[in-house]
Structure 1
Amino acid sequence: MTVFKTFLLMFLLTSKNVLKTLSLDIRLAQ
């Protein structure tokens, strides 16, 4: 259970960073 929570937390942090990068790319594209 603990391992699953850690994996989920890492996944959420990674997805947040990806979203930030995508939003920055979109801003630069415009």
Structure 2
Amino acid sequence: MLHFANESCLISNYRALKIKLIIGICSDYE
């Protein structure tokens, strides 16, 4: 159970990072 919770935490962190990257790239183009 703990391992699964850590994994989903990593996945949500990675998704947030990807969104930040996309937003960062988009704001660079503006």
TM-score (norm 2): 0.86
Q: What runs of 5+ residues in structure 1 fail to find an aligned partner? A: none
- How many residues in Structure 1 have an aligned counterpart in Structure 2? 28
Q: What runs of 5+ residues in structure 2 fail to find an aligned partner? A: none
TM-score (norm 1): 0.86
State the percentage of identical aligned residues: 11
Asked if 1:22 corresponds to 2:20, the answer is yes
What is the CA deviation profile of residues 5-29 of structure 1, one whole-angstrom value per residue up to 9, with x for unaligned ones?
0000000001000000000000000
CA RMSD, aligned part only? 0.4
* Divergent runs of 4+, >4 A: none
